[in-house]
Amino acid sequence: MTVVLPAPVSTPATPEAHHLAPAPAELMRELGIRSRPGILSRLPSWLRVFVRNKKGLFGLIILCVFVVTAALAPLIVPYDPYRRAGKPHMQPSIEHLLGTSRQGKDIFSQLLEGGRTSLTVGLVAGLSATLIGLGIGISAGYFGGRTDEVLTFVVNVSLVLPALPLIIVFASFIEEASPTIIGLVLAFTGWGWSARTIRTQTLALKNREFVVAAELMGERKWRIIIMELLPNMSSFVVGGFVLATIYGILAEAGLEFIGLGSPSSVTWGTMLYWAMRAQALQTGAWFEVWPPAVAIMITGAALVLINFAVDEITSPELRAGRHIRRVAGFLKRRGRTIDVG
Amino acid sequence: MLFLLRRLGFYLAAFFVAITLNFFIPRLMPGDPATRILLSLRGKLNASQIEAVREAYGFKGNLWEQYTGYLWKLAHLDFGISTVNFPEPTANLLYYAAGWTLFLVGVATALSFGIGIVMGIYSAWHRGGFFDTFFTPINVMMNAFTPAVVALLLWYGFTMQWPLFPLGRAHDMNLTPGWNWETVASISWHAVLPVASIVLVNFGAWHLGMRNTMINLLNEDFVMLARAKGLSDSRIRYRYVARNAILPQITSLALSIGYVFGGAFITEVVFNYPGLGKFTLNAIQTRDYSFIQAQLVLLTAAVLVANLASDVFNVLLDPRLRTGARA
């Protein structure tokens, strides 16, 4: 809503300073807007939006650090994480940065190796779930009719059926589920939400002019889906991926913690499992519990921050809240109030 | 009405899919449960006894006969006999564990919902303020701290480091449960930490959900109209915005009430709480298949009933659904 002010009848010959509209620089200072550094404008626009969002940038940096250390784990681990490297429950020292576990394995090496497995399982499970959801959601939304009916029924069933117990039952019938199997099961049970969001989004897009135009031009269906629909819902896809990854990492850790994983694999979940089995906390071996616990917490926090950023990019009114106080102050000094808040 | 009937039809279909999956999953796995039991008793049974065991576990005859037999038993709420607590029918164990879980997770869900909604209203109203910018991300992060870590740290902190609370179990061991003050006190005292561990992990999701829905509503025209009419802030906040924003939250609440019957696996394991999660885990470790299947049926039924309840609730609260125009 814009307020149309009446045009001034006559312009005074020598306007006084306070009648002048403030210079852009002053306005920007008052509203706390900083001009973008030059490097930023060279980034692709989706990345720029991300980098300008403090929460998202922070989360992304943390996650990148974890991913890089995890990827390099085989090169930098000081000991073999699967083998005994010293006496049981040695205190942290120069030799063993985070001490050793009850079984005498080096915890620092296990932490890195565990991160590799946990992050891989989480990311792969998240990615697969997103891809399944994307495929089913787009097909249901775009093709409509009988396809939509059948697919929507499948989606609804998968949403209504409780996932975690299903996973647990799966995991229990497959004895000693390896991280790979846990990841597959998580992907298989975790795609419902993204399929539903993507379907809704496809329905909203498919009658828009550019899609209709592409159809009239005789584009093939798969090309319309990939070139026209997909780029316009990228933020939903990314959001779904982040959520599915959080779910994947946490669910994997949870399953392994309660002892449904394969105890011989090294992940953050199995590290916690062994620490609990060895009664590490009761015997003062805090260094067996804290590293995997803190690693899971930090990873979860980083992903949540990224998810916040994606949310704010998807629906800008959530972001508006951050600047609203400045704007309110700005308007108040000019004798206006902001309409809501 | 038509809308509700359609939903009811869908839930019945979904329930059917679920119990069919429940029937087939154990049979798809290598080695049926009955054979495993037989293997563990190898050499102690003769041929007719083996047949009897297979029959008791519903593995007699061809697949179709097994399936109809399974459905028949299910219709009579006959979940078979527990292998671990041998003569005890699985149903009794299930109901015992369900009682404790209902109490534990029910209280925790109610608390998380209440705390989350109040915080959500506050931070949406003062969006961009200190509370919102600071606590909204932190509360949601707690959600990502995984119950395993939170429960373990609470347990260590308040039973080992500062031994304020009991180590586990639902009540004192040498207490005969009854309706008296002593029992209630003991049960509540034992529930503090488990409930806290669930609430800490869960309330952030309610907070964020309520906040985001409310912020979207604050931009609506009816809010501006209410302002223009000069209604008081608190009236707009609670009667106009929060009342509308709570609709989707109530839908999710109904769903999580259904999930109560999933039990809180991790919390119950850490605090040794005799709920469904712990019993199911025991059943898994001891290969008590009848309990696992019974638990899955109970949970599916609960979740579907909760879904139906949320549909009914929404129809009652939201007049737009009553026309049946939108599904």
- For the residues of A45-56, what is the DSSP string, one character each? HHHHHHHHSHHH
Cβ-proximal residues to A323 (8 Å cutoff; 6+ apart), any chain: A31, A32, B128
Cβ-proximal residues to A76 (8 Å cutoff; 6+ apart), any chain: A69, A112
- Cβ distance A160 to B129 less than 8 Å, yes or no, reads no
List CB contacts (< 8 A) between B14 and chain A: 156-157, 160-161
Residues in B 186-225 with any Cβ partner in A closer than 8 A? 212, 215-216, 218-219, 223-224
Question: How does residue B32 score in pLDDT terms, banded at 50, 70 and 90?
Answer: low
Nearest CB to B266 within list A55, A258, A297? A258
List CB contacts (< 8 A) between A300 and chain B: 141, 143-146
For residue B81, list its beta bridge partners: B89
The Cα B87–Cα B227 span in angstroms is 68
Closest approach of B181 to chain A, Cα-based (Å): 33
Residue A70 in contact with residue A115, Cβ under 8 Å? yes
Residues in B 290-309 with any Cβ partner in A closer than 8 A? 292, 295-296, 299-300, 303-304, 307
For helices A145-160 and B2-28, the axis angle rounded to 10 degrees is 70
The Cα A168–Cα A180 span in angstroms is 15
For A260-283, how does the pLDDT look when each residue is reduced to its tens digit (9 = 90+)? 778 788 888 888 888 888 777 777
Cβ-proximal residues to B270 (8 Å cutoff; 6+ apart), any chain: A276, B148, B151, B152, B155, B168, B197
* DSSP letters for A157-220: HHHHS-HHHHHHHHHHHSSSB-HHHHHHHHHHHS-HHHHHHHHHHHHHHHTSHHHHHHHHTT--
> Which residue from B minimizes the CA distance to A293?
B149
* Chain A CB within 8 Å of residue B275 CB: no
Give CA separation, A179 vs A70, A111, A315, in Å. Answer: 16, 16, 35
- Cβ distance B11 to A254 less than 8 Å, yes or no, reads no
Question: How does residue A128 score in pLDDT terms, banded at 50, 70 and 90?
Answer: very high
List CB contacts (< 8 A) between B262 and chain A: 162, 164-165
The Cα B98–Cα B119 span in angstroms is 31
Helices (H) and strands (E) in chain B, counts: 15, 0
Nearest CB to A322 within list B128, B143, B299? B128
SS3 A296: helix
- Cβ distance B128 to A325 less than 8 Å, yes or no, reads yes
Closest approach of A297 to chain B, Cα-based (Å): 5
**Mutation target among A55, A57, A160, A186 for the B interface, most CBs of B within 10 A:** A160
Of A148, A290, A284, A1, the C-alpha closest to B149 is A290
The Cα A305–Cα B137 span in angstroms is 7
Closest approach of B46 to chain A, Cα-based (Å): 27
For A172-207, how does the pLDDT look when each residue is reduced to its tens digit (9 = 90+)? 666 667 788 888 888 888 888 888 888 888 888 888
List CB contacts (< 8 A) between A318 and chain B: 212, 215
Q: Which amino acid is at B272?
A: N
CB neighbourhood size of B188 (10 A): 12
The Cα A97–Cα A274 span in angstroms is 19
Closest approach of B31 to chain A, Cα-based (Å): 10
- Cβ distance B153 to A293 less than 8 Å, yes or no, reads yes
Instruction: Give the single-character DSSP code of B116.
Output: H
Closest approach of B187 to chain A, Cα-based (Å): 24
Q: How many CB pairs under 8 A join A and B?
A: 143
SS3 B85: coil
Residue A254 in contact with residue A273, Cβ under 8 Å? no
For residues A218-243, give the mean pLDDT: 85
Q: Tell me the two tokens of residue B280.
A: 């199911």
Q: Which amino acid is at B159?
A: T
Cβ-proximal residues to B241 (8 Å cutoff; 6+ apart), any chain: B124, B214, B217, B218, B223
Please, what sign has the CA dihedral across residues A124, A129, A134, A139?
positive
For A94-110, how does the pLDDT look when each residue is reduced to its tens digit (9 = 90+)? 777 777 777 778 888 88
Of B249, B241, B264, B222, the C-alpha closest to B310 is B249
**Residue in this structure with the two tokens 């620092």, named with its chain if needed:** A108
pLDDT reported for residue A129: 92
CB neighbourhood size of A56 (10 A): 21
> Which residue from B minimizes the CA distance to A245?
B144
pLDDT reported for residue B114: 93
- Cβ distance A153 to B125 less than 8 Å, yes or no, reads no
- Cβ distance B128 to A301 less than 8 Å, yes or no, reads no
Q: Tell me the two tokens of residue A192.
A: 């419902």
For residues B146-172, give the mean pLDDT: 78
pLDDT reported for residue B119: 92
- Cβ distance A254 to B265 less than 8 Å, yes or no, reads yes
List CB contacts (< 8 A) between B153 and chain A: 293
- Cβ distance B284 to A55 less than 8 Å, yes or no, reads no
pLDDT tops 60 at residue A17: no
For residues A298-325, give the mean pLDDT: 77
SS3 A261: strand
**Mutation target among A166, A188, A243 for the B interface, most CBs of B within 10 A:** A166
Cβ-proximal residues to A112 (8 Å cutoff; 6+ apart), any chain: A69, A70, A73, A76, A77, A81
Q: Tell me the two tokens of residue A321.
A: 């809240």
Cβ-proximal residues to A53 (8 Å cutoff; 6+ apart), any chain: A309, A312, A313, A319
pLDDT reported for residue B37: 65
Instruction: Give the single-character DSSP code of A17.
Output: G
Dihedral angle, C-alpha B23, B294, A191, B148, nearest 10 °: -140
Question: How does residue B31 score in pLDDT terms, banded at 50, 70 and 90?
Answer: low
Q: Tell me the two tokens of residue A293.
A: 């616990």
SS3 B84: coil
The Cα B198–Cα B185 span in angstroms is 20
pLDDT tops 80 at residue A84: no
pLDDT reported for residue B113: 93
Question: How does residue B116 score in pLDDT terms, banded at 50, 70 and 90?
Answer: very high
The Cα A58–Cα B277 span in angstroms is 36
Residue B150 in contact with residue B142, Cβ under 8 Å? yes
For residues A76-95, give the mean pLDDT: 77
List CB contacts (< 8 A) between A293 and chain B: 148-149, 152-153
pTM of the model: 0.78
The Cα B323–Cα A286 span in angstroms is 60
Of B194, B187, B183, B107, the C-alpha closest to B147 is B194
Burial class (CB in 10 A: 0-12, 13-18, 19+), B316: exposed
| E strand residue ranges, chain B | none
pLDDT reported for residue A322: 58
For A135-177, how does the pLDDT look when each residue is reduced to its tens digit (9 = 90+)? 998 888 888 888 888 888 888 777 776 666 666 666 666 666 7
* Chain A CB within 8 Å of residue B274 CB: no
List CB contacts (< 8 A) between A254 and chain B: 146-148, 265-266
